[in-house]
Amino acid sequence: MEHLERVRNNAHSVGEEVVEIVTRVSSRHSRTIIVQNTGAANIRIGGSQLTSVNGVRLEPGDTMVLNREEMHTQSIFAVREGEMNSIVAVQVTT
């Protein structure tokens, strides 16, 4: 029997408030999470202690791919880095 993957796609507006883009439950059961900054401003990606000056920077058009080994069963958050909001697209494969 073939294994079928389930893929979920979401888009989130990223502003000055930290926003959860992948829940703890999703990250725990995921095989791959792809996060792409589809907006026009830099954003930061990270865990629950994320601020606009720490975490991983994603510039406009940048993509981050996380596999199961890189996920620590925690939620993933995003926040904008400067004054302009951005959009982040998230694809979760289970």
pLDDT value at position 24? 74
Where in the chain are the domains? 12-93
pLDDT in tens, 8-47: 778 889 999 999 998 876 556 667 888 999 999 999 999 8
Q: What is the pTM (predicted TM-score) of this model?
A: 0.82
Mean pLDDT taken over the chain: 83
pLDDT band at 1 (very low <50, low <70, confident <90, very high): very low
Kindly report the CATH class assigned to 12-93. Answer: mainly beta
Contacts of 32 (CB under 8 A, 6+ apart): 65, 66, 67, 68, 91, 92, 93
